[in-house]
Amino acid sequence: MGHTAVAAAAAQFYRRVRDATEALAAPLSAEDQTVQSMPDASPVKWHRAHTTWFFETFLLVPYLPGYRVFDPDFAYLFNSYYEAAGPRHPRPQRGLLTRPGVAEVTAYRAHVDAAMLRLLDGAAPAEPPAGLVALGLAHEEQHRELLLMDILSLFAANPLRPAYRTDLPDGPKAGGGGRRLSFDGGIRRIGHEGGGFAFDNEGPAHDVLVHPFRLHSRPVTCGAWKAFIADGGYTTPTLWLSDGWAAVQAQGWTAPGYWRRHDGAWHVMTLGGERPVEDDAPVTHVSLYEADAFARWAGARLPTEAEWETAAAGLPCTGNTVGSGRLRPAADPAPDGDRPLQMFGDVWEWTSGAYTRYPGFRPAAGAVGEYNGKFMANQFVLRGGCCVTPDGHVRATYRNFFYPHQRWMFSGVRLAEDA
């Protein structure tokens, strides 16, 4: 493929990623885009501006001669956590930024997009690093998922329980009740290697010893979680890790996030508004502590990272992701077979793996080296993507990570057992 064709393909992909972000924001009012529901979340307007700041800061300023920064103050307002890039506005106060307004953020995106397309078309003496462009686009895809997570958190805090979308389709019923699948032990190669984009925390690839294990063919369902609740799951301290039980007491957890009981039944807040809990759908919005407690109650455990990746190897990385239009987990109507179902999409699946570096991991030089590596402490890894993950974004080696108490993301559970 010649330079012109490569440039055209890069520009097309850039436009597609950026346009998709704008499409997600389109149903939202300026007020919706400005408010922040909690310190962990960010306003939609901030997500749109921060992803733009990333391209401006790490690609346009260093690589496009004569580039004019849209507004020097935005470097302070929209830096997230890059210490090497300078000071920044405190994360818990992002919802106080009534200015710049949504219209000005839209103009900022247009300004940066026009410059990025010039850069990708060869306007600079030297081509920008392809890996850095790919990182910027993958970073924006991550923020598209965060945008939907955060708007759900915001709307769930609104007593009107508004819907982000009113046209979301109902999910199907499950095609089977699930089964335990057996996997042989041995030396397994995990982590990313070879061509294609991957985040730095997915490598280097390395060998691990995996003991024989069993993995459940489907994620844990809402119906199973109802049984856990009815059996005293949230009131039995012996099921819980010490920190988990402390979180139950402090937070008053009695069910997964966004669940509430009224009119004699459980309901859950979704991006389509509040709906009855669907028993066949994968449970979501549970913390690592809840996932671990449920696994103990079920006589099982959470899979290790290596077990999960071993089971996912060779499976197509497709499923109920954002392109399905459901925007919430759904049952899989496929019958049970000899391969696990719903490994990709629907819910991020907690593993027992602490988020830490793989052997030989080295962060990139400069500010972009802060992207993943500095967070490798006190968090746990989730695998597989979810119902609001961009299509084609995840891989079997993809490592998401959150703190064990967090549950506003679309996090779920798949059980494992020793063989």
Taking residues 113-132, report their average pLDDT: 90
H or E element in which residue 180 lies: strand 180-183
- Buried b / exposed e across 99-127, counting CB within 10 Å, b at 16+? ebebeebbebbebbbebbbebbeeebeee
pLDDT of 2 higher than 70: no
Q: Is residue 136 part of a domain?
A: yes
- pLDDT of the residue at 367: 86
The residues with which 268 forms a beta bridge, in sequence order, are 259, 275
Same domain, 191 and 85: no
pLDDT tens readout for residues 25-44:
999 999 999 999 999 999 99
Q: Which of 122, 141, 156 is the last residue of a domain?
A: 156
Residues 184 and 226 in one domain: yes
Contact 147, 44 (CB under 8 A): yes
Quick check: 405 and 289 in contact, CB under 8 A? yes
pLDDT tens per residue, range 337-369: 999 999 999 999 999 999 999 999 999 888 888
Q: Do both 333 and 388 map to the same domain?
A: yes
Residue type, 376: M
Q: Which of 120, 141, 156 is the last residue of a domain?
A: 156
φ/ψ (deg, to 5) at 285: 60, 45
**Which residue range forms the structural domain that includes residue 222?**
180-418
Cβ atoms 340, 315 nearer than 8 A? yes
User: Model confidence over 53-110: pLDDT tens digits?
Assistant: 999 999 999 999 999 999 999 999 999 999 999 999 999 999 999 999 999 999 999 9
Residue 166 domain flag: no
pLDDT band for position 3 (cuts 50, 70, 90): low
For the CA atoms of 21, 22, 28, 32, the dihedral, rounded to the nearest 10 degrees, stands at 60
Q: How confident is the model at residue 4 (pLDDT cuts 50, 70, 90)?
A: low
Q: What is the pLDDT of residue 5?
A: 63
Q: How many residues make up the chain in this entry?
A: 419
Whole-number Å distance between alpha carbons of 99 and 208: 51
Which of residues 96, 121, 156 is at a domain's end? Answer: 156
The DSSP H or E segment spanning 156 is helix 130-156
Q: Are 402 and 380 in contact (CB under 8 A)?
A: yes
Instruction: Say whether pLDDT at 1 is over 70.
Output: no
Q: How many domains does the chain have?
A: 2
- Using a 10 angstrom Cβ sphere, with 0-12 exposed, 13-18 middle and 19 or more buried, the burial of residue 73 is exposed
Q: Which residues pair with 345 in a beta bridge?
A: 320
**Which of these, 110, 104, 88, 93, lies nearest to 42 by C-alpha position?**
93
CATH of the domain at 197: 3.90.1580.10
Do residue 129 and residue 186 come from a single domain? no
Instruction: State the average pLDDT for the chain.
Output: 96
Q: Are residues 216 and 111 in the same domain?
A: no
C-beta neighbour count of 166 within 10 angstroms: 10
Q: Among 41-50, 133-142, 164-173, which stretch is predicted with the lowest mean pLDDT?
A: 164-173
Q: b vs e for 190-211, b when ≥16 Cβ sit within 10 Å of the residue's Cβ?
A: bbbeeeeebbbbbbebeebebe
Cβ(216)–Cβ(180) below 8 Å: yes
- The model's confidence at residue 170, banded by pLDDT at 50, 70 and 90, is confident
In a domain, 81, yes or no: yes
Asked if residue 336 belongs to a domain, the reply is: yes
Distances (CA, A) of 228 to 185, 215, 225, 242, 283: 31, 20, 5, 19, 12
pLDDT at 174 over 70: yes
Tens digits of residue pLDDT in 274-322? 999 999 999 999 999 999 999 999 999 999 999 999 999 999 999 999 9
Alpha carbon distance 376, 135 (integer Å): 19
**Percentage of residues in the chain having pLDDT higher than 70:** 99
| pLDDT confidence bin for 125, thresholds 50/70/90 | confident
Q: Is residue 172 part of a domain?
A: no
Q: Does 226 lie in the same domain as 149?
A: no
